[in-house]
Amino acid sequence: MSGVKPLRILQLHSNFIEYKPVEKEIEEAEESGKETCRLEDLVVLFTSVEEGDDESVVLRAVEDIKGYLDTVKADRILIYPYAHLSSNLAKPREALKVLRELERRAREAGIETYRAPFGWCKQFTISIKGHPLAEQFKTVLPAREAVKEKPSGEVVSKALKAEEKIKSYWFILQPDGKMVPVEEFDFSGHGNLEKFAKYEISKVRVAMQVPPHVTLMKRLEIADYEPGSDPGNMRWYPKGALIKSLIEDYVTRKVVEYGAMEVETPVMYDLQHPSLADYFNRFPARQYIVKSEDKEYFLRFSACFGQFLMMHDAQISYRQLPLRVYELTRYSFRREKSGELSGLRRLRAFTMPDCHALCADLDQAKEEVMRRLRLSMETLEAFGLGREDYELAVRFTRDFYRENKEFVTSLVKEFGKPALIEMWDRQFFYFVLKWEFNFVDNLDKASALSTDQIDTENGQRYGITYVDEKGERRHPLILHCSPSGAIERVIYAMLEKAYRDQLNGKAPMFPVWLSPVQVRVIPVSERFIPDAEKIADELGMESHRIRVDVDDRPLTLQKKIREAEMEWIPYIVVVGRREVESGVLAVRDRQTEKVGEPAEIKKMSLKELVEEIKNQTRGKPFKPLALPRALSQRPRFFG
């Protein structure tokens, strides 16, 4: 190694650097003023010269620097003598010679070059750019290959990295079993599928508007950003909390009916737990980390951990399979990158119904997946999301498809519309097959709602076993299903759909069972408030399970109607002299309304109205009004 004088260079692509020579540290120091020097948008080269006497290294270094400047599109450098990179420093006199040579050669190479004074104690402030290549540490050796080291940044799961290398093959699978490469498929009549396919494959995304549902979620006092929390953690106003809670109840009820056992598990887990750490690396997500005493915990991003650990400890017989376990996670956490967060569509804290099913073998798993596909469609239906509102994607490995063609086709057949297929050459994740329903919004963005997966790894990873017919312990296959997707995302989809309805001239609204106020009673003047209250008493009788309120504010009738309409209230009952005398109600029915046209007023008896609402909400959960009944008693949360 004699004759080799390595350079150690820390390259930092910076927004700016400010440095100020404070005092000379050594006798050989250069002459310099003490004024602060500031340079912007440049690459700073913290450089130390190590023991040796060979100057040829400089040429190599300049080559390397040029390449780097090209890559990061910069054209200016600052050579900043920085002794702390080495424990084997060259003599100052020699080091200065090398640095000057480096400066000269860099200039010769056409680089705008600055150099901080050598031999001084300097103070500096630096702002480093955030792109992946902004920080590089190099050791430049004259006779050998340069050593590249990247300073360690954030801990990224292996799965997240692996994902970057996945090669996907895209097809459209028709209900009749015909599989067509996506570029050959005729999308006429399948506009949403086309948008979804493009969104998934092309990665071109243009849109620079606030998503319609964000405006609506605020205006309707459903939810809002919470500036006092981490981004992606929402606040829920009374109306939103009610809607969310009803949806949660409904999904839970459906899953329990399907045969799942509801459980509850912790929100945080030991980062060092062996099974968890391993799984962690198979799941492409970023986490919140919580420190407690001297341990680190990650906040769960699904219910898998808790349920798997529970199943690990359970005694299970093959006779009990498929065994279904369910939890509604309030909350699951994923520390999505800040630029990815969007309204209720993509959050850092969200509520995820998560249902696992342990299956004895693939045949049982396939049967179960089919049941859960149906369960998911029924569930979405209750939120007013029909098959026309979402698209199916099925993703699997090539091997799985070869051996299970019929099964895959049967899923698409059950769905009834062509589906987007993504095929992989080998298994990257813990599952061999996964399907999702995807909603396409008004900005042509697609997001997954319901999903199910066939997991071939975690039974083993978590040591989950059942005892088979022969008395032997075996690992089950595990299905992971969310029949609705995140609850917040369901609300997002409903709002986006309502917005689209409005564009098409339909009055936007929630399904009646989810409307925070189902009937508003409006007296024509203050004189009729007592009559209005009496009607509200009768409509709102506990046994009717109807949410009624009364607009008792001293406003004009028109104004009160307008506000009720803007709140998307399904039934508006106006009470005046005529109603009091006749006993017949004058009802505005939102479901029959068209935007911009005068409303039709239906004459109905109170009993008929109660019946109609009961018909609309049959079989759905009910919760009482989440706000004071009298509008005059209500605060305004937004606007």
Quote the Cα angle for 411-416-422, to 5°: 50
Using the Cα atoms of residue 202, residue 207, residue 213 and residue 214 in order, give the sign of their dihedral: positive
Token pair listed for 413: 């057949």
Shortest CB 288 distance to RNA, Å: 13
Residue 337 DSSP one-character state: -
- 165 makes contact with RNA (CB under 7 A): no
Please count the residues of the chain: 639
Cα 416 vs. chain centroid, distance in angstroms?
A: 28
Residue of the chain from 242, 494, 574, 613 that contacts RNA (CB under 7 A): 574
Q: At what angle do helices 362-382 and 398-415 cross, to 10 degrees?
A: 40
- 443 makes contact with RNA (CB under 7 A): yes
Question: Coil, strand, or helix at residue 64?
Answer: helix
Shortest CB 524 distance to RNA, Å: 5
Please, which residue, 171 or 466, has the CB nearer to RNA?
A: 171
Nearest-angstrom CA–CA distance, 599 and 590: 8
- 211 makes contact with RNA (CB under 7 A): yes
- 210 makes contact with RNA (CB under 7 A): yes
Within 8 A by CB and 6+ apart from 341, the residues are 231, 232, 347, 348
Please, which residue, 5 or 480, has the CB nearer to RNA?
A: 480
Site for RNA in 221-250 (CB under 7 A): 225, 227, 231
Please, which residue, 261 or 595, has the CB nearer to RNA?
A: 595
Site for RNA in 465-484 (CB under 7 A): 482
Nearest-angstrom CA–CA distance, 580 and 465: 69
- 342 makes contact with RNA (CB under 7 A): yes
- 364 makes contact with RNA (CB under 7 A): no
Site for RNA in 79-108 (CB under 7 A): none
Residue of the chain from 59, 555, 625, 630 that contacts RNA (CB under 7 A): 555
- 586 makes contact with RNA (CB under 7 A): yes
- 291 makes contact with RNA (CB under 7 A): no
- 340 makes contact with RNA (CB under 7 A): yes
Residue of the chain from 48, 265, 302, 397 that contacts RNA (CB under 7 A): 302
Q: Give the chain's largest Cα–Cα span.
A: 110
Please, which residue, 183 or 340, has the CB nearer to RNA?
A: 340
φ/ψ (deg, to 5) at 454: -105, 110
Nearest-angstrom CA–CA distance, 15 and 60: 26
Question: Coil, strand, or helix at residue 31?
Answer: coil
Whether the CB-CB separation of 281 and 158 falls below 8 Å is answered with yes
Token pair listed for 559: 């104004």
Please, which residue, 345 or 544, has the CB nearer to RNA?
A: 345
Could you tell me which of 18, 417, 38 has the C-alpha nearest to residue 196?
A: 417
**Stretches 1-9, 175-183, 408-416, 558-566: which one binds RNA (CB under 7 A)?**
558-566
Shortest CB 338 distance to RNA, Å: 6
Residue of the chain from 102, 309, 486, 519 that contacts RNA (CB under 7 A): 486
- 189 makes contact with RNA (CB under 7 A): no
Nearest-angstrom CA–CA distance, 364 and 431: 16
Cα 349 vs. chain centroid, distance in angstroms?
A: 9
Question: Coil, strand, or helix at residue 43?
Answer: strand
**Stretches 55-63, 174-182, 202-210, 467-475: which one binds RNA (CB under 7 A)?**
202-210
Q: At what angle do helices 212-219 and 487-503 cross, to 10 degrees?
A: 100
Output the DSSP codes for 547-570: -EEE--SSS-HHHHHHHHHHTT-S
Shortest CB 35 distance to RNA, Å: 16
**Stretches 141-149, 182-190, 203-211, 291-299: which one binds RNA (CB under 7 A)?**
203-211
Shortest CB 486 distance to RNA, Å: 6
Token pair listed for 499: 């917005």
- 164 makes contact with RNA (CB under 7 A): yes
**Stretches 59-67, 70-78, 126-134, 604-612: which one binds RNA (CB under 7 A)?**
126-134
Output the DSSP codes for 289-313: EEEETTEEEEE-SSSHHHHHHHHHT
Residue of the chain from 73, 131, 470, 618 that contacts RNA (CB under 7 A): 131
Please, which residue, 147 or 156, has the CB nearer to RNA?
A: 156
- 282 makes contact with RNA (CB under 7 A): no
Please, which residue, 319 or 577, has the CB nearer to RNA?
A: 577
Residue of the chain from 343, 353, 384, 476 that contacts RNA (CB under 7 A): 343
- 204 makes contact with RNA (CB under 7 A): yes
- 127 makes contact with RNA (CB under 7 A): yes
Shortest CB 67 distance to RNA, Å: 20
**Stretches 157-165, 314-322, 376-384, 537-545: which one binds RNA (CB under 7 A)?**
157-165
Please, which residue, 64 or 200, has the CB nearer to RNA?
A: 200
- 44 makes contact with RNA (CB under 7 A): no
Shortest CB 94 distance to RNA, Å: 37
- 123 makes contact with RNA (CB under 7 A): no
Shortest CB 561 distance to RNA, Å: 4
- 426 makes contact with RNA (CB under 7 A): no
Residue of the chain from 576, 606, 616, 626 that contacts RNA (CB under 7 A): 576
Whether the CB-CB separation of 261 and 325 falls below 8 Å is answered with yes
φ/ψ (deg, to 5) at 49: -105, 130
Within 10 angstroms of residue 388's Cβ, the number of other Cβ atoms is: 8
Within 8 A by CB and 6+ apart from 67, the residues are none
- 398 makes contact with RNA (CB under 7 A): no
Token pair listed for 280: 């962690």
> Between the CA of residue 310 and those of 287, 305, 330, what are the distances in Å?
22, 8, 18
Token pair listed for 481: 């299903």
Output the DSSP codes for 430-462: SEEEEEEEEEE-TTS-EEEEEEEEEESSHHHHT
Q: Left if phi > 0, otherwise alpha if psi is -120 to 50, otherwise beta: which for 293?
A: left
Shortest CB 468 distance to RNA, Å: 29
Shortest CB 612 distance to RNA, Å: 17
> Between the CA of residue 509 and those of 173, 219, 438, 598, 615, what are the distances in Å?
34, 13, 21, 17, 17
Token pair listed for 211: 């998503």
Cα 620 vs. chain centroid, distance in angstroms?
A: 28
Site for RNA in 11-40 (CB under 7 A): 15-16, 40
Could you tell me which of 194, 227, 211, 245 has the C-alpha nearest to residue 346?
A: 211
- 130 makes contact with RNA (CB under 7 A): yes
Q: How many residues bind RNA (CB under 7 A)?
A: 85
Residue of the chain from 44, 588, 609, 627 that contacts RNA (CB under 7 A): 588
- 169 makes contact with RNA (CB under 7 A): no
Residue of the chain from 196, 350, 437, 571 that contacts RNA (CB under 7 A): 350
- 406 makes contact with RNA (CB under 7 A): no
Please, which residue, 71 or 525, has the CB nearer to RNA?
A: 525
Site for RNA in 497-536 (CB under 7 A): 507, 524-527
